[in-house]
Structure 1
Amino acid sequence: MVLASLLFLALSATVSQTPVVAALGSACGVPLTAGNCCMGRVLTGSRASSIRVFRNVKDYGAVGDGVHDDTAAINAAIYTGNRCGNGTCGSSTTTPAVVYFPAGDYLVSSPLQAYYYTVMVGDARTPPTLLASANFTGMAVIDADPYGTNGANWYTNQDSFYRSVRNFVIDLTRMPASASATGIHWQVSQSTSLVNVVVNMSTKPGNNHQGMSGGFMGDIVFNGGKYGIWVGNQQYGTRCVLVHSTYMSQAVFGSWNWGWTYQRVIINDCQVGFDLVTGSVGGEAIIDAVVTNTPIFVRSSKPSNGSLAGSLVLNNIHLNNVTTAVMANDTTVLAGGTRTIKSWGQGNVYAGTRPNGTFTQGEIHSAYKDSSLLDHNGFIVSKGHPMYADYSVDQFKSVKCMGAVGDGMTDDTEAIKAVLAKYAGCYIIYFDAGIYKVTSTIQVPAGTRIVGEAWTQIMGAGPYFNNQEDPKVVVQVGVPGSQGVTEITDIVFTTQGPAAGAIVVEWNVRDPFDQQAAAGMWDSHIRDLLFLLIIANGTHLQDADCPAGSNSPACFAAFLGLHLTYGATAYLEGTWVWLADHDLDGLDQLTLFSGRGILSHSQGPVWMIGTSEHHVLYQYSLVGAENHYMGLIQTETPYFQPDPAPPTPFGISQVYDDPTFENGMNMAWGLWVQSSINIIVFGAGHYSFFQNYSTACLGNTTCQAQIVNTDWSSSVTIYSLTTVGTTYQLSVEGDGVIYWANDTEGFSSTVTLWRPQH
């Protein structure tokens, strides 16, 4: 028997920090003995023997020789086990799967359907090729949300969570150039990622191939085709994308959004870099781009005519032989050439407490970027998902092999502590798929690398975490003053209710000297609720326990989601800090209470590329913080507010620097900034859709009065701020400043830039 889970790690890994699929070391072909460990299975109650997590496509009949049609075999590897898909299930956490592709050429003739809670991963040393046949039929080679026979998607768009695709080459070149071929249909929401993917398309003039349609991606290459990326969604962040094609019409075609941040984009030899549908694309923010031999960098479909017609922010854009930098319809707005655009914007620009913005189509304020946030090229630091391909299998230690159970019922506290005490810093600590119940604080030493399998869950449970007057940490990463290379990937931190005093993750560790982004989390989430229904006794935080409208002390999920302490540094990519508003295994609405989302006291550097939503007091709070880069951050106010209004059912904590609720403020803050300096928010979506579960307030944008606040002493620059349902988009010292109606762009309102006057 192969030690499947650890072998998957060694075979699927990459530590690439550039948009190129890396050919790094692996332990490919090393035979291992599983012993008595339950690798590749979920140990949860009575179904433990039937839920296989790790699946090698060759075990299901795939050949990978580029000749045999492997479509049916691969899809069987994905769907086997009564998993959530095919339009029969809205969402589910009970049947996770890691679908592994050894090196090879896998011929496919119809879409590979990425079921809910699925990681599709290829060997990073020799990335497998998904080769679309000449007669391929269907929307895309990989389809994360297929359309059924009735024309409806399998999953509800805003609830399409937990999918990841890593380490593949997708080849469309056998398909006719005239075919509408697509590499990936990525119609997904939070807790999803595309990492290290190359899409090769036709290079013939006039071809109709496109690389991808959909959401978040990092370290992606698109070669050839008509479109590199065709995107449309509420909001997303995109990091490290290379688009190259002599005949490509558009590198990025934006059909609609409320807000989108592109960080570190390289465009070579295309006709148009970004082609945006005016009136449908609300806010577009692009930072650290290099554009070469491309006649038009950004084009919008309609002229602005001196008023808001799609907000645009360009920051640190390097142009090489680009004729036109920005074009509105057929009119040049900003000339190109070979030069660097430091900071340019189109839209309404505000400063201080002036309530009226100035429509600007030109140079705008350039926020100070501390050198600690930048790499040697002067770009915001970017680091891809680490997966340790250079390590052999015997350099991993499985917590299940070392005595932990991971069934959601057994107390695994002492077993996990023992593994960390003995092996942290010497081995990579592997948390096999499962739910690891802990009843006291788990201390993760600086220098530890932790890896999960299909979003392994570490769950804080018991009375130790249920006193909001004396909050306790579930997982403490480093102790104050510690430093070391510390990485956490593919883990979900959860609680079992009631847990009114749970600080789910406290982050103390900082980067070693002269190593940037060495301490961080990737594809790891803080979800203040566990959903796995097959655990005996459940989480006590599901629809039967805490239905919408409930007000029970039993429905406390956490005191605080993530705390970045004073001396910490952190690189957070795809870190979703979510208090559930609905049951993922039933879709019924819930009323749960988590006091706070992300609190940062860190002096930096901190890079945040993630979301936080539904917490009672705030989603993001920066108090005494310095040197933060916050990419596309997205929040939602709890659906039950203002019944009760914050801080109820929590108290105000002076120890944790809680915000105030004055001037009629009866809803949670999206972003609260106090006594903080050198804060850059580059793209933000702060939304309020409900009052006590009713959307009637959206009709006149009165779901809440204020949502973003800063004090006078802070230096924070906010680019591309989008709000929904909020009367004042930004406040200073608790007083509303920017009125939503001044910045309407369809359903949302967008501020191109706000900065303090000092």
Structure 2
Amino acid sequence: MGFKIAFLVASAAVPCVVLAHRQPAPLNAINPLQNRQFTNWFPDPHPSPQKSYWLSEIPHQGTSPFLTNNTNYTVFRNVKDYGAKGDGSSDDTAAFTAAINAGGRCSGGTCGTGSTGQPALIYVPQGTYVVSSPIQLYIDTQVIGDAVNFPTIKASPAFAPSNGSVIAGFDPGQGSTTNFYIGLRNLNIDTTSVSINSTVSGLNWAVSQATNLIYVNFVLAPNSQHVGIQMDGGSGGGGSGTFLGDLTFTGGLIGIHLNNQQYAFKNITFTGVATGIAVQHLFVGTFQKMHFEDCGIAIDVGQADTAGSVSLIDSTADDCAVVLNGSSSFLLENVHVTNSGPLLYVNGTSRVLGNDLEDQTYVIGHLYFNSNGTLVQSMGQSLPYTERGALTDGDGLYLAKSQPQYIEYGADSVVSVKNVGARGDGQTDDTAAINAALKANAGCKITYFPHGVYLVTDTIYVPPGSRIVGEVWSTISASGKAFANERDPHVMFQVGKPGEVGVAEISDMLFTVADVLPGAILVEVNMAGSQKGDVSFHNSHYRVGGAADSRTETACQTTGSPCKAAFLLAHLTPSSQTYIENAWLWSADHDLDGSYNQVIGTGRGMFIESTRGTWLVGTASEHHILYAYQTYNAQNIFVNMQQVETPYFQPIPSAPTPWKPNATWHDPDFVGCGKNTTEPRCRMQWALRIVGEQTSTINIYGSGYWVFFNNYTTDCGNNNGNCQDSVVDLEKLPEDANVYLYNLNVRGVEEIVTIGGSDGLAAAERADNPGSWGGVLAAYLGFA
């Protein structure tokens, strides 16, 4: 589609102004989530309240460059253009289906276009849309409602099947663990017109990484059998998720019927729900800023072995019969309870009665208080309150920032990079155009990336005052010789320069490489905010290989010879201060768009040196050679759930192959493995390395470190098997480093925690700590 010349001229003529801070907007009584999505920073003078969302009014220029015959393919689809009425009485089911299916889209990416070839943004304007059967979503789909006036999707009284979901977010064309790149936000989902005896649900969300569920209000019939979210992926289970948050649930039998491997939850409110969260299956669950009011049971873990571990932090419960019920590895911290029954009910016995745990830490499970491997099995005890350092907001809670949507702005405040010369066609060098747009827009405009693949041959510099928004995960892709030298790695996307302070917000983007580039650092953050949370990434992901937009899909197929496709995915430097929510750092183990073998040896996942504050909320880092997460002399890190998988081909070849450890980057060298009788299983990716004598205040609440294979075979991979020697390495830490590792879960690992690297001391072994998907520690406090 074309764009208006006036838009470009008007944008260029508006001078940049100094950013100002703003107080939160008042609570919106109709859409209670809207008070959480105000934008903290915007140009002065203050903009007027908007009547509609800018997303519907800007030119829509998104393309799918690697789709054959893509000229007429439409990324942005307004449901009203496909016949939806939104009048509260017409049946709009067919219109939603038409909008989703347009362009020959089909389930599972099986139309010959792969998983990434047919992206779609389904826009839902204000209104009430009645549906009589489930709305089926596909992978690579985002459904986004009007963020100023949430639309309502309402199940009709005749909704069928009676046990169906109003929105079927699980794409049955893929298994639940490969349901990637699906998003849903800015909606009310209403089942109040359906019979109270029906087992209807608002959403089936059996999905995995790189999915986005935020800003949805679930309105269920009171005293009914209705469920807000179910996770039913059939025989494949409920998925492998990372994050969901900023949701509300009112009424019904169950808010979230939880069935997934792991999840980070944040900012979720349950009101008048019989059971807020009913756990069917879960290995790692971390619940931050949860609010329960007038609930029978807030969180019901139920039978033994239903959940590996549960962490509940910075949360409240009012007028609930039981707050947390079940038998598992539990961590409760700063939980405020009023007018309620037992806070914790285990195997029919009250562990913590009506008293709350405000500014306290309480744990049940296996504990290590020192580094000599002494295990304490606790049926419940208080611990010294976790040192939170610089990680809290003004109320003493861990910082939690919701994804910005800029609802105070109109369309004239949004500038498309395609309006200033970028092509996003996967062929043109867009470096100069993007850098020019970011420079011009800093402090005065939102920079919008319509869907596309934007090749860059040099560093993209993001200056203070930047706000960047993508469309269905718009892609920035490194290309060319600048990124080819592993001895002199080069940054593709640089957020600020060392020492810079300001605002940089990045949402709905994807970072990748267009070729095998051993010197590519995909993202580097140097900037800190003048206030905590000023520098943030939301729903932005990293992918190396596995897709048609990169030559790595076809160039890295040789078994036993993983290619050095990228040096490092994310680097948070010493001067940075970064909030990251919902990020998947994926070195591809399989091909999303074809059937090519993927043998990709990305060097490193995320490297953190920051001391000013780092918040990781719902992140995953998978299949890197040296490590998934590494910190060096880092301070003030908060983690709400992190998930890791070891490369499926290791230990053939064994780490560090194909890389040579680089001391400048504090790489592990694995030389101690020569002293180990199980040397091959020693030479595998570290899930987590915490290194350095200046380390201080690293607080991790919930982790899942999974090892499934040795050289693609599952012989070692049963729950009690040993595919890998160790996954957590603590090196050169001071005794009082304030490092708190809570609810650490593993699979296929012999040693959960090692001190001193590959030939170090086994500080906690899986055989001593059974549970979860193989092993679980409630708390490792050897350096607290």
Normalised TM-score (structure 2): 0.88
Instruction: List runs of 5+ in structure 1 lacking aligned partners.
Output: 8-14, 147-152, 301-308
Q: Which moved more, 1:582-591 or 1:183-192?
A: 582-591
- Asked whether 1:419 is paired with 2:442, we answer no
Cα offset, 1:338, TM superposition: 5.4
Cα offset, 1:657, TM superposition: 1.2
- The counterpart of 1:681, out of the listed 700, 705, 730, is 700
Cα–Cα, structure 1 residues 270 and 2, in superposed 2: closer, same or farther, change >3 Å? farther
Q: Which moved more, 1:319-328 or 1:693-702?
A: 693-702
Q: Tell me the residue number matched to 2:599.
A: 591
Cα offset, 1:362, TM superposition: 2.0
- The counterpart of 2:564, out of the listed 540, 556, 560, is 556
Q: Tell me the residue number matched to 1:11.
A: none
- The answer to whether the 8 A contact 1:71-1:109 is kept is yes
Q: How far apart in 1 are the matches of 2:55 and 2:93?
A: 27
- The counterpart of 1:94, out of the listed 98, 110, 117, is 117
Q: How far apart in 1 are the matches of 2:407 and 2:176?
A: 33
Q: How far apart in 1 are the matches of 2:308 and 2:565?
A: 34
- The counterpart of 2:470, out of the listed 452, 459, 463, is 452
Cα offset, 1:371, TM superposition: 4.6
Q: Tell me the residue number matched to 1:316.
A: 334
Q: How far apart in 2 are the matches of 1:473 and 1:634?
A: 25
Cα–Cα, structure 1 residues 721 and 29, in superposed 2: closer, same or farther, change >3 Å? closer
Q: Tell me the residue number matched to 1:85.
A: 107
Q: How far apart in 1 are the matches of 2:26 and 2:179?
A: 27
Q: Tell me the residue number matched to 1:39.
A: 61
What one-letter code is carried by the residue in structure 2 that aligns with 1:659?
P
What one-letter code is carried by the residue in structure 1 that aligns with 2:253?
K
- The answer to whether the 8 A contact 1:27-1:391 is kept is no
- Asked whether 1:221 is paired with 2:238, we answer no
Q: Tell me the residue number matched to 1:135.
A: 158
- The answer to whether the 8 A contact 2:529-2:535 is kept is yes
- Asked whether 1:671 is paired with 2:688, we answer yes
Q: How far apart in 2 are the matches of 1:191 and 1:548?
A: 27
Q: Tell me the residue number matched to 2:148.
A: 125
Q: What is the correspondence of 1:542-691 to structure 2 with a 5 Å cutoff?
A: 542=553, 544-547=554-557, 549=559, 551=561, 555-586=563-594, 588-609=596-617, 610-661=619-670, 662-663=672-673, 664=679, 665-675=682-692, 676-691=695-710
Q: Tell me the residue number matched to 2:778.
A: 752
Instruction: List runs of 5+ in structure 2 lacking aligned partners.
Output: 8-23, 39-48, 232-240, 674-678
Cα offset, 1:352, TM superposition: 2.5
- The answer to whether the 8 A contact 1:91-1:160 is kept is no
Q: How far apart in 2 are the matches of 1:128 and 1:433?
A: 24
Cα–Cα, structure 1 residues 52 and 573, in superposed 2: closer, same or farther, change >3 Å? same
Summarize deviations over 1:51-96 as a string: whole Å, max 9, x none: 2110000000000001000011011111211224168469600111
Secondary structure in structure 2 of the residue aligned to 1:717:
strand
Cα–Cα, structure 1 residues 39 and 26, in superposed 2: closer, same or farther, change >3 Å? farther
Q: Tell me the residue number matched to 1:743.
A: 769
Q: Tell me the residue number matched to 2:534.
A: 518
Cα–Cα, structure 1 residues 705 and 337, in superposed 2: closer, same or farther, change >3 Å? same
Summarize deviations over 1:81-113 as a string: whole Å, max 9, x none: 122416846960011111000000000111111
- The answer to whether the 8 A contact 1:259-1:685 is kept is yes
Secondary structure in structure 2 of the residue aligned to 1:397:
strand
Cα offset, 1:495, TM superposition: 0.3
Q: How far apart in 2 are the matches of 1:647 and 1:747?
A: 27
Cα offset, 1:557, TM superposition: 1.6
- The answer to whether the 8 A contact 2:334-2:359 is kept is yes
- The answer to whether the 8 A contact 2:517-2:565 is kept is yes
Cα–Cα, structure 1 residues 729 and 80, in superposed 2: closer, same or farther, change >3 Å? same
What one-letter code is carried by the residue in structure 2 that aligns with 1:256?
H
Q: What is the correspondence of 1:14-29 to structure 2 with a 5 Å cutoff?
A: 20-22=32-34, 25-26=49-50, 28=52
Q: How far apart in 2 are the matches of 1:339 and 1:569?
A: 29
What one-letter code is carried by the residue in structure 2 that aligns with 1:522?
H
Cα offset, 1:586, TM superposition: 2.3
Q: What is the correspondence of 1:459-538 to structure 2 with a 5 Å cutoff?
A: 459-512=477-530, 515-529=531-545, 531=547, 533=548
- The answer to whether the 8 A contact 1:250-1:271 is kept is yes
- The answer to whether the 8 A contact 2:52-2:149 is kept is no
- The counterpart of 2:176, out of the listed 147, 153, 157, is 157
Cα offset, 1:46, TM superposition: 4.9
Q: How far apart in 2 are the matches of 1:741 and 1:625?
A: 31
Secondary structure in structure 1 of the residue aligned to 2:583:
strand
Q: How far apart in 1 are the matches of 2:444 and 2:630?
A: 35
Q: How far apart in 2 are the matches of 1:364 and 1:345?
A: 6
Summarize deviations over 1:550-583 as a string: whole Å, max 9, x none: 526xx32210110000010000001111111111
Q: How far apart in 2 are the matches of 1:313 and 1:739?
A: 20
- The answer to whether the 8 A contact 1:163-1:193 is kept is yes
- The answer to whether the 8 A contact 1:367-1:680 is kept is no
Q: Tell me the residue number matched to 2:212.
A: 193
Q: What is the correspondence of 1:55-66 to structure 2 with a 5 Å cutoff?
A: 55-66=77-88
Cα offset, 1:32, TM superposition: 9.7
Q: Which moved more, 1:484-493 or 1:326-335?
A: 326-335
Cα offset, 1:26, TM superposition: 3.7
Q: How far apart in 1 are the matches of 2:359 and 2:60?
A: 55
- The answer to whether the 8 A contact 1:41-1:54 is kept is no
Q: How far apart in 1 are the matches of 2:743 and 2:119?
A: 36
Secondary structure in structure 1 of the residue aligned to 2:313:
strand
Q: Which moved more, 1:268-277 or 1:742-751?
A: 742-751
Cα offset, 1:356, TM superposition: 4.1
Cα–Cα, structure 1 residues 588 and 140, in superposed 2: closer, same or farther, change >3 Å? farther
- The answer to whether the 8 A contact 2:389-2:636 is kept is no
- The answer to whether the 8 A contact 1:559-1:596 is kept is yes
Cα–Cα, structure 1 residues 143 and 31, in superposed 2: closer, same or farther, change >3 Å? closer
- Number of equivalent positions: 720
Secondary structure in structure 2 of the residue aligned to 1:708:
strand
Secondary structure in structure 1 of the residue aligned to 2:372:
coil
Q: What is the correspondence of 1:321-340 to structure 2 with a 5 Å cutoff?
A: 321-337=339-355, 340=358
What one-letter code is carried by the residue in structure 1 that aligns with 2:330?
L
Cα–Cα, structure 1 residues 338 and 632, in superposed 2: closer, same or farther, change >3 Å? closer
- Asked whether 1:263 is paired with 2:274, we answer no
Q: How far apart in 2 are the matches of 1:86 and 1:466?
A: 34
Cα–Cα, structure 1 residues 579 and 32, in superposed 2: closer, same or farther, change >3 Å? closer
Normalised TM-score (structure 1): 0.91
Q: Tell me the residue number matched to 1:104.
A: 127
Cα–Cα, structure 1 residues 341 and 252, in superposed 2: closer, same or farther, change >3 Å? farther
